[in-house]
């Protein structure tokens, strides 16, 4: 993580600063919850001491009470880092920062060793970061123990060495070898010089302080500003430490100026509107709520709701607090002006809002009568009850907040009619209930017209022009035609001349569904509803007339589930009588029995049947296997399926191959012995 994020690392609090019309709110419980989610320890530790400090400081600034318990692991890491002679200067500073929050058990001897190392590093420093970590470490030792003398006898010399890195525009360089300057380096330098002033054993030369105040004024001259008053310091430099965006650069400058303002008794005379702009940018994460910080505390004016309904008589509520969400001093809020968005005209109101002490909000119970539905910009002004509070708090002048006023729009004189083309006389006319259920049935030919008209009136009795007003005709074949309903003063009206639309309608006669759409973001009763249908009788299409475009195929009908297919099998043929089937079976088996009788009659020679036990066993198994195959065929015919039969047959085939090979081998060897004899 970058060094200068610190307790400003909750970056999601400043997302609204990039929006021209952002509504700024003080720090709330949602921000604290976000910080707890962002800083979640793993195995009881945040990892490095830098990350641990950023988490602890964020919890402290946001006032988070229920935070993770990491004291044991963090203090062990602090002690190891401070006692190690090989610890980097940066790690020493972060260890001291964590110790300043957790108050770990450290002896004075440890602080004396650290003080010696820091002063040696300060004397050998040749870059801004060397000065920053050395001086910052000494400041931390000073705050944590009084047993060690950390004062600087040569403070003027160190001050001038750091000041030599400044530029004419108020920005600073990180080292004399680096010609590039940045706002981030300026914040580091200011914080370091504030430490030098605090550690000086004698008063710093006043001319050096005056020069530094002039540098701060130049730095604020280059501040960036949005139209809503949000201010920030941009960073365009890409150096060895990487690119720093507006958040890091602004945080660094604010910390530096805050540190400098705390050690000098002179006023910095910083512009109040820019201080408030920085407060809006950080939304309080980077500016502690103390009157010493930057000379004054910014107050944030926020609205719990920026969408108000005149129909529901919503109240306008305004909350004023410090950027960290603490209570503001006694004050009043006035509604000074109301602007209509897109217009330079403004209504002068100058009305004081009523304060509700139970909810700590200022309430305007009823909107001014001249506020109509639409987008407005309300201009508020904060007035302190005690003028002395102007010294400690800054409001930034008038605050402009965009307000979205909605309401129910009244629809009058809605009607639809079929007109004769020549005379314009009404042939058929129907009243419409908008919004509501309508089911008009009209008919017309190509020589007639269709007219639709209605009026829109706001709750204030003024004519209303919505963002959307469409009339759609949809043919039964799926072809749609959309027309914009025009506005003629107080009345919305559209007239469709079918004679001029026959080509656009592709000469398609038949039924057309009528649908009306009226909508606007401030119209609470926007609607899209069918009005009914009209039967059109159009002339036949010429030979070369354009054809209707192919209608898109409904993906559901193409890729959706298909209709279930029901198979109807042919009824089985009638079986023959049982007696006839048995007689046929006997005729089939008759040749087999004849074969056996023939073997007996011919006196079959079985003299070659093996006499020994093992060959006789293999011969018997071979014939049993052949019988098993024949039995398997019979079972396949009556009961088994093909796959089961093939599985069993494969096993029997392997068995027959083995025992058959043994049997034939024995017969071959016996025959060879007989021939040789």
Using one digit for the tens of pLDDT, what is the confidence trace for 177-235?
A: 877 888 888 889 899 988 888 888 888 888 888 888 888 888 888 888 776 677 878 77
As a whole number, mean pLDDT of residues 382-408 equals 87
533 has a pLDDT exceeding 90: yes
Return the minimum-mean-pLDDT range out of 162-171, 373-382, 470-479.
162-171
What is the biggest distance separating any 2 CA atoms in the chain, rounded to whole angstroms? 144
What's the token pair of residue 477?
């074949």
pLDDT at residue 294 above 60?
A: no
- Whether the per-residue pLDDT at 7 is higher than 60: the answer is no
Judged against a pLDDT cut of 90, whether residue 408 lies above it is answered with yes
With cut-offs at 50, 70 and 90, classify the pLDDT of residue 5: very low
Q: CB atoms < 10 A from the CB of 145, how many?
A: 17
- Per-residue confidence (pLDDT) for residue 26, from 0 to 100: 62
First-to-last alpha carbon distance for the chain, in angstroms, is: 102
Residues 6+ apart with CB under 8 A from 294: 254, 257, 258, 261, 268, 270, 275, 278, 287
In this prediction, what percent of the chain has a pLDDT beyond 90? Answer: 25
- Give the confidence band of 677 by pLDDT, cuts at 50, 70, 90: low
Contact 96, 137 (CB under 8 A): yes
Confidence of residue 239 (pLDDT cuts 50, 70, 90): very low
Q: Where does the pLDDT of residue 324 fall: very low under 50, low under 70, confident under 90, or very high at 90 and above?
A: low
Please, what sign has the CA dihedral across residues 292, 294, 296, 301? Answer: negative
- Alpha-carbon 447 to chain mean position: 56
SS3 69: coil
Confidence of residue 1 (pLDDT cuts 50, 70, 90): very low
Q: With 80 as the cut, is the pLDDT of residue 607 above it? A: no
Unique residue bearing structure tokens 């919890």: 59
What is the arithmetic mean of pLDDT over 65-94? 83
pLDDT tens-place string over residues 255-284 = 888 888 888 877 777 777 777 777 777 653
Q: Pairing between strand 393-394 and 297-302?
A: parallel
- For residue 472, the model assigns a pLDDT of 96
Does 490 have pLDDT greater than 60? yes
Specify the range with the lowest mean pLDDT, choosing from 109-118, 263-272, 408-417, 479-488.
Answer: 263-272
55/74 Cα distance (integer angstroms): 12
Q: Does 242 score more than 70 pLDDT? A: no
Look at residue 24 in the predicted model and tell me its pLDDT: 52
* Higher pLDDT, residue 552 or 514: 514
Alpha helices in 236-373 (DSSP H): 246-263, 272-282
Task: Give 236's pLDDT tier (boundaries 50, 70, 90).
Answer: low
Q: What is the pLDDT of residues 95-127, one digit of tens each?
A: 888 888 888 888 777 888 888 888 888 888 888
Say what the pLDDT of residue 210 is.
Answer: 85
- Does residue 318 carry a pLDDT above 90? yes
What's the token pair of residue 627? 């019988």
User: What distance lies between CA 434 and its chain's CA centroid?
Assistant: 39
Which of 67-71, 152-156, 383-387, 592-596 is modeled with the greatest confidence? 383-387
Mean pLDDT of 378-382: 91
Range with lowest mean pLDDT among 376-390, 449-463, 565-579: 565-579
pLDDT at residue 42 greater than cutoff 90:
no
| Dihedral pair phi/psi, residue 134, rounded to 5° | -70, -50
As a whole number, mean pLDDT of residues 416-440 equals: 86
Q: What's the chain's average pLDDT?
A: 82
Quote the pLDDT of residue 27.
Answer: 64
Contact status, residue 74 vs residue 52, Cβ threshold 8 Å: yes
R_g of the chain, CA atoms, integer Å: 47
- Work out the average pLDDT over 621-629: 91
Q: How far apart are CA 243 and CA 182, in angstroms?
A: 10
Question: What is the percent of the chain where pLDDT is above 70?
Answer: 90
- Confidence band of 240 (pLDDT split at 50, 70, 90): very low
What sign has the CA pseudo-torsion 660, 662, 663, 666?
A: positive
């Amino acid at each position: 993580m970058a060094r200068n994020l610190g307790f400003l690392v909750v970056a999601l609090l400043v997302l609204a600063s990039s929006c021209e019309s952002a509504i700024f709110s003080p720090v709330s419980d949602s921000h604290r919850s976000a910080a707890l989610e962002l800083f979640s320890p793993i195995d009881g530790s945040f990892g490095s001491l830098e990350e641990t400090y950023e988490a602890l400081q964020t919890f402290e600034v946001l006032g988070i009470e229920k935070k993770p318990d990491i004291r044991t692991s963090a203090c062990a890491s602090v002690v190891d880092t401070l006692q190690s002679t090989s610890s980097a200067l940066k790690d020493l500073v972060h260890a001291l920062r964590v110790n300043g929050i957790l108050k770990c058990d450290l002896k004075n001897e440890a602080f004396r060793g650290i003080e010696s190392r820091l002063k040696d590093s300060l004397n050998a420093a040749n870059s801004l970061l060397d000065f920053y970590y050395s001086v910052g470490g000494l400041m931390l030792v000073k705050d944590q123990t009084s047993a060690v003398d950390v004062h600087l006898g040569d403070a003027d010399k160190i001050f001038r060495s750091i000041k030599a890195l400044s530029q004419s525009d108020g920005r600073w360089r990180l080292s004399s070898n680096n010609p590039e300057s940045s706002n981030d380096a300026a914040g580091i330098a200011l914080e370091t010089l504030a430490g030098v002033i605090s550690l000086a054993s004698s008063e710093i030369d006043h001319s050096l302080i005056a020069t530094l105040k002039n540098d701060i004024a130049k730095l604020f001259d280059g501040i960036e500003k949005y139209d809503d008053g949000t201010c920030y310091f941009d960073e365009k430099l890409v150096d060895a430490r990487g690119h720093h965006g507006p958040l890091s650069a602004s945080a660094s400058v604010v910390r530096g100026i805050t540190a400098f303002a705390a050690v000098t008794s002179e006023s910095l005379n910083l512009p109040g509107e820019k201080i408030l702009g920085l407060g809006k940018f950080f939304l309080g994460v980077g500016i502690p709520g103390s009157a010493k910080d930057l000379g004054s505390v910014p107050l944030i004016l926020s609205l719990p709701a920026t969408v108000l309904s005149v129909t529901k008589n919503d109240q306008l509520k305004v909350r004023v607090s410090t950027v960290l969400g603490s209570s503001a001093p006694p004050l009043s809020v006035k509604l000074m002006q109301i602007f209509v968005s897109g217009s330079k005209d403004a209504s002068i109101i100058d009305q004081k809002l009523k304060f509700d002490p139970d909810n700590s909000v200022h309430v305007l119970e009823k909107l001014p009568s001249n506020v109509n539905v639409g987008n407005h910009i309300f201009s508020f002004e904060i007035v302190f009850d005690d003028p002395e509070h102007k010294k400690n708090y800054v409001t930034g002048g008038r605050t402009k907040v965009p307000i979205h006023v909605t309401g129910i729009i009244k629809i009058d004189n809605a009607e639809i009619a079929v007109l004769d083309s020549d005379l314009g006389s009404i042939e058929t006319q129907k009243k419409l209930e908008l919004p509501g259920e309508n089911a008009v049935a009209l008919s017309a030919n190509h020589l007639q017209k269709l007219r639709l008209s209605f009026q829109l009136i706001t709750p204030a009795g003024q004519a209303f022009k919505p963002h959307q007003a469409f009339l759609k005709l949809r043919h039964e074949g799926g072809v749609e035609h959309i027309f914009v309903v025009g506005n003629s003063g107080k009345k919305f009206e559209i007239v469709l001349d079918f004679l001029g639309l026959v080509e656009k309608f592709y000469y398609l006669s038949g039924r057309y569904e009528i649908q009306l759409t009226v909508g606007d973001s401030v119209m609470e009763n926007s609607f899209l509803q069918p009005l009914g249908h009209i039967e059109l009788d159009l002339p036949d299409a010429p030979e070369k007339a354009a054809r209707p475009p192919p209608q898109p195929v409904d993906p559901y009908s193409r890729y959706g589930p298909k209709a279930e297919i029901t198979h109807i099998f042919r009824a089985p043929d009638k079986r023959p009588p049982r007696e006839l089937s048995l007689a046929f079976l006997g005729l089939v088996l008759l040749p087999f029995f004849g074969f056996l009788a023939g073997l007996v009659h011919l006196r079959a020679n079985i003299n070659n049947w093996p006499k020994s036990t093992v060959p006789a066993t293999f011969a018997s198994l071979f014939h049993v296997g052949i019988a098993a195959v024949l039995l398997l065929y019979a079972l396949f015919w009556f009961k088994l399926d093909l796959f089961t039969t093939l599985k069993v047959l494969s096993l029997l085939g392997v068995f027959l191959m083995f025992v058959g090979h043994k049997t034939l081998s024995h017969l071959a060897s016996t025959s060879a012995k007989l021939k040789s004899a």
